[in-house]
Amino acid sequence: MTRFRERKSGSTRTALTAAAVLAACSPGDIAFNEPGEADTHVERGGMTVTVNVDPVDSALADSLGWQGGVPGAEVYLLLNGTAEWTTALTGSDGKVVFNDLLDGLYRVFAGKTLTEAEASNVGGVVRAFGDGRTVRFDGTAEVELMLLADRPGTLVISEISNGTPLDWDVSGTTEGSLYLEVYNNSDSVLFLDGVVFGASHEARKDWDFLPCAASQVVRTDPEGIYARWFMQFPGSGGEYPVGPGEARLVAVEAIDHSPRHPHMADLTNADFEIGGLANNPAVPDMLQMGPEGIGMPYPRIAAGRHTYILAEQFNLAELAARWRDNHGREYYRVPKEKIIEAIALYHIWTPSDEGNVPCVPMTPRDFDRYEGGFWDIGLNLSDDALRSVQRKVLRVAPDGRKTLVNTNTSAYDFSLGRVPRTPGSIP
């Protein structure tokens, strides 16, 4: 059962109205009593979420009059092991209270995109803010989120394909239809020549056979991000420009996949190709980095339990900081001064998540403040698998050029729900 509610600032009362609510469902809303049984419900303290602005953006907060908290911020709440998000807005004091919650771990993140009226206080430029935490609730909790403003424009990952038709629906493998999209979110021409794309795929839960503690040092290292697979864009310095507001598409196989399945994309317009079973000779190939086996296996171009980075050119062999997991797989630390962009994306698998504590992401908060947790957009069970993870649009210039949300908070920067694929373009 879904209940739509408005959460009032500083109060533990709930109103049955959907006026200020984006979506809501709380697993502890309903209690059943046997006939004649007394109502023994005990009032619990609830979870109070206070939303402020990170001190590094205090001047911006002062211009907006947000010294006492961020009003109208969207707060998202999800109990570990469930798939229904509760969403509410903060009041004028930057607070919101969630009641009737079950004990457990909760994903909590918040974001705020300025209205046109609010933007008039900061030069007429629409800005966005984001932050998140994983917290434990045991009857009462006080959570403070410190929103970070969108950062200066650069190259960003704007879309990642998410799942393919089931192999038994299509003859042969379908992983060749996966893709990655890179976008110039700046006001200047940038070049892809030599830029490195890397990914890390690791356990996100505290399993007995693979505890979080075994990799804690690499999950919290402020000096860089550890990744397993690397590929590099071709070019020697000025061959592959990307204009402001332009996207470049990287396909595993730059061919038309739609004849194999109606939900598979036509990727013949790709700008670069990784190369799977098929290869389009008209499309420049991405370059493998490092010894055999260290290059990017193309199944990693699928949003899930991954950290993704874009980095300035570097020599993989010269990266001194390395780490091996309990399977002997080697991770390389990309130094922070080389990292252009970092995002963390996570599939929420309801049955398996319920009893497992999530690990700290492989992307430290200095690079990504909170991983994006997405449900029903990567499952290879139905047409829901035929979606992508896309970065949201922040503002549109008079000439039509779009600036994308980039608060270094993947949970807020990327669309939470299901979105159609739009490879090579920004919807």
Q: Are strands 74-79 and 46-53 parallel, antiparallel or unpaired?
A: unpaired
The two tokens of residue 185 are: 């979110």
The mean pLDDT of 159-175, rounded to a whole number, is 74
> Is pLDDT larger for residue 197 or for residue 14?
197
Quote the CA–CA distance of 127 and 113 in Å, as a whole number.
6
* Confidence tier at 318 by pLDDT (50, 70, 90): very high
- pLDDT for 175: 81
250 close to 280: Cβ distance less than 8 angstroms: no
Quote the CA–CA distance of 318 and 117 in Å, as a whole number.
50
- pLDDT for 43: 56
Percent of the chain with pLDDT over 90: 55
Given a cut of 70, whether residue 400 has pLDDT beyond it is yes
The mean pLDDT of 332-344, rounded to a whole number, is 95
Strand partners, 241: 191
- pLDDT for 330: 86
- pLDDT for 419: 77
The mean pLDDT of 116-139, rounded to a whole number, is 95
Given a cut of 90, whether residue 131 has pLDDT beyond it is yes
The mean pLDDT of 147-160, rounded to a whole number, is 96
411 close to 128: Cβ distance less than 8 angstroms: no
Q: Are strands 74-79 and 86-89 parallel, antiparallel or unpaired?
A: antiparallel
Collapse the DSSP code of 271 into the 3-class scheme (helix H, G, I; strand E, B; otherwise coil) and give the result.
coil
Quote the CA–CA distance of 312 and 372 in Å, as a whole number.
24
The two tokens of residue 334 are: 């990309």
Given a cut of 70, whether residue 407 has pLDDT beyond it is yes
Quote the CA–CA distance of 42 and 44 in Å, as a whole number.
6
- pLDDT for 134: 92
Q: How many CA atoms does the CB half-sphere of 308 hold within 13 Å?
A: 25
The radius of gyration computed from the CA coordinates of the chain, to the nearest angstrom, equals 22
- pLDDT for 19: 33
The mean pLDDT of 313-319, rounded to a whole number, is 92
Given a cut of 70, whether residue 317 has pLDDT beyond it is yes
Q: For the domain with range 6-30+43-149, which CATH number is right: 2.60.40.1080, 2.60.98.20, 3.40.50.720, 2.60.40.10?
A: 2.60.40.10
Q: How many CA atoms does the CB half-sphere of 158 hold within 13 Å?
A: 28
**Contacts by residues 284-293 (CB-CB < 8 Å, ≥ 24 positions apart):** 284/234, 284/240, 285/234, 286/197, 286/231, 286/232, 286/233, 286/234, 286/250, 287/231, 287/232, 287/233, 287/234, 288/231, 288/232, 289/196, 289/230, 289/231, 289/232, 289/316, 290/230, 290/316, 290/317
The mean pLDDT of 227-235, rounded to a whole number, is 93
Percent of the chain with pLDDT over 70: 80
278 close to 253: Cβ distance less than 8 angstroms: yes
Quote the CA–CA distance of 91 and 45 in Å, as a whole number.
18
**Residue whose token pair is 């697979």:** 229
Task: State how far Cα 355 lies from the chain centre.
Answer: 23
Q: Report which of 419, 414, 377 is spatially closest to residue 394, judged by C-alpha positions.
A: 414
Quote the CA–CA distance of 198 and 180 in Å, as a whole number.
12
* Confidence tier at 82 by pLDDT (50, 70, 90): confident
Give residue limits of the domains in the chain.
6-30+43-149, 155-413
* Confidence tier at 228 by pLDDT (50, 70, 90): confident
Question: What is the overall mean pLDDT for the chain?
Answer: 83
pTM for the full predicted model: 0.86
Collapse the DSSP code of 109 into the 3-class scheme (helix H, G, I; strand E, B; otherwise coil) and give the result.
strand
User: What's the sign of the alpha-carbon dihedral 146, 152, 154, 160?
Assistant: positive
358 close to 172: Cβ distance less than 8 angstroms: no
The two tokens of residue 171 are: 């003859």
Given a cut of 70, whether residue 34 has pLDDT beyond it is no
Return the amino acid letter for 194: G
Which range, of 40-44, 158-162, 221-225, averages the lowest pLDDT?
Answer: 40-44
CA distances, 135 to each of 47, 131, 223, 244, 341 (Å): 10, 13, 25, 39, 26
Q: Report which of 128, 127, 85, 91 is spatially closest to residue 108, judged by C-alpha positions.
A: 85
Q: What are phi and psi of 393, to 5 degrees?
A: -85, 130
- pLDDT for 340: 97
* Confidence tier at 348 by pLDDT (50, 70, 90): confident
Strand partners, 336: none
The mean pLDDT of 410-421, rounded to a whole number, is 87
- pLDDT for 325: 80
* Confidence tier at 164 by pLDDT (50, 70, 90): low
Do you know the residue count of the chain?
Answer: 427
Contacts (Cβ under 8 Å, ≥6 apart) of 174: 164, 165, 166, 167, 257, 260, 261, 264
- pLDDT for 214: 82
Given a cut of 80, whether residue 418 has pLDDT beyond it is no
> Is pLDDT larger for residue 218 or for residue 126?
126
- pLDDT for 9: 38
The two tokens of residue 142 are: 């006080």
pLDDT in tens, 272-305: 999 878 899 999 999 988 765 565 656 567 666 6
The mean pLDDT of 167-174, rounded to a whole number, is 71
Given a cut of 50, whether residue 125 has pLDDT beyond it is yes
* Confidence tier at 212 by pLDDT (50, 70, 90): confident
